[in-house]
């Protein structure tokens, strides 16, 4: 059974049209439901010559982060413009400009020659964004917070669920020990980290040769940009088109000398952290299939160790 998503809580088309008419003072056309989001229900529509997107969420924080991320944007790192944030339908809404393209995950393995340079360039653009002084946890604290059962988090209580399965508990404890034992290799850097690139948050051109949008910045922070490489390589096991790129081999030669120090160890720590943090997510959803998949990836990573 597919777990229910907050984005499934949607107003009717009639209610959306009425809301947009009141907000814009004009009637929208070409209204359509947009799929893909977990937290936000989204609608695409047209207002005269403008293509726009309406998103609805229970909380405004993600929308505020998307608004902040406009300051990171460039032609090579296109971030949709957020035009309005407010309250509606008893929730929060955001209206932004619509970008067109294919989701990164939908590009097939046969398009690796086009997509590889596109993803390498995207990761380089993220690394190159200048530090604008946004408050962020020390990087090591952020990494460990991701594998902690936090009472203020949506997944609160997940450790109890994992502990009830002896095999899952063994794998989590092994990953936790490995992460902590190697954490000294992970520098407290101030590079932009999106940390959610492969959850339908990147659009590319039909030819897969350029990025057309990067959105959903709610998980972004400042730390070690190798984390985004680890995100792509870890989830590349899930998405064939990404896995076919062999991003480790493509990206590591492009790193600066300072970014290359202990890169294999750092990358290993981050892949383990990504997997371990998602144990909590899948346990909270009751998604046994993907929980089992993630445990298998962690076991393989623990056995293999850092890449050579």
Which segment of 2-16, 220-234, 236-250, 264-278 scores lowest on mean pLDDT? Answer: 2-16
Domain residue extents for the chain:
6-97, 102-304
Q: How many CA atoms lie within 13 A of 181 on its CB side?
A: 11
Over residues 281-293, mean pLDDT: 92
What CATH code is assigned to 6-97?
3.30.200.20
| 38, pLDDT greater than 70 | no
Q: Quote the CA–CA distance of 93 and 286 in Å, as a whole number.
A: 28
Contact between 118 and 210 under an 8 Å Cβ cutoff? The reply is yes
What CATH code is assigned to 102-304?
3.90.1200.10
- The dihedral over CA atoms of 24, 30, 35, 36, expressed in degrees to the nearest 10, equals -60
Predicted local confidence at residue 54, as pLDDT: 96
Model confidence pLDDT, tens digit, residues 253-265: 999 999 999 999 9
Q: Quote the CA–CA distance of 6 and 56 in Å, as a whole number.
A: 10
Beta partners for residue 97, in sequence order: 52
Model confidence pLDDT, tens digit, residues 123-168: 999 999 998 878 889 999 999 999 999 888 888 899 999 999 999 9
Model confidence pLDDT, tens digit, residues 202-214: 999 999 999 999 9
Predicted local confidence at residue 70, as pLDDT: 96
Over residues 211-235, mean pLDDT: 96
CA 265 to each of CA 180, 185, 260, 262, 281: distance values in angstroms, whole numbers, following the listed order: 12, 7, 10, 5, 25
Q: Quote the CA–CA distance of 69 and 159 in Å, as a whole number.
A: 32
Contact between 44 and 51 under an 8 Å Cβ cutoff? The reply is yes
| 2, pLDDT greater than 50 | no
Q: 36 pLDDT band (50/70/90 cuts)?
A: low
Model confidence pLDDT, tens digit, residues 189-200: 999 999 999 889
First to last CA, the chain: 40
């Amino acid at each position: 059974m597919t777990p229910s998503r907050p984005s499934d809580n949607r107003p009717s088309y009639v209610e959306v049209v009425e809301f947009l008419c009141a907000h814009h003072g004009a009637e929208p056309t070409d209204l359509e439901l947009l799929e893909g989001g977990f937290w936000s229900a989204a609608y695409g529509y047209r207002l005269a010559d403008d293509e726009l997107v309406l998103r609805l969420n229970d909380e405004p924080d993600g929308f505020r982060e998307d608004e902040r991320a406009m300051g990171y944007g460039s032609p090579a790192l296109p971030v949709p413009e957020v035009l309005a944030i407010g309250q509606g339908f008893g929730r929060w809404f955001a209206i932004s400009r619509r970008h067109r393209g294919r989701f990164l995950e939908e590009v097939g393995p046969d398009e690796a020659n086009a997509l590889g340079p596109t993803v390498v360039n995207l990761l380089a653009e993220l690394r190159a964004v200048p530090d604008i002084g946004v408050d962020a946890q020390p990087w090591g604290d952020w990494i460990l917070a991701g594998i902690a059962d936090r009472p203020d988090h949506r997944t609160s209580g997940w450790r109890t669920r994992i502990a009830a399965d002896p095999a899952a508990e063994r794998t989590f404890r092994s990953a936790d020990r490995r992460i902590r034992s190697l954490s000294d290799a992970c520098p407290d850097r101030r590079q932009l980290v999106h940390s959610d690139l492969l959850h339908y948050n990147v659009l590319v051109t039909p030819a897969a040769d350029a990025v057309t949008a990067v959105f959903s910045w709610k998980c972004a922070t400042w730390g070690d940009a190798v984390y985004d490489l680890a995100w792509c390589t870890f989830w590349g096991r899930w998405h064939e088109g990404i896995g076919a790129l062999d991003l480790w081999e493509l990206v590591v030669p492009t790193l600066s000398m300072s970014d290359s120090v202990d890169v294999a160890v750092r990358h290993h720590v981050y892949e383990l952290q990504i997997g371990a943090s998602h144990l909590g997510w899948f346990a909270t959803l009751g998604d046994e299939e993907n929980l089992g998949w993630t445990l298998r990836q962690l076991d393989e990573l623990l056995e293999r160790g850092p890449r050579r």
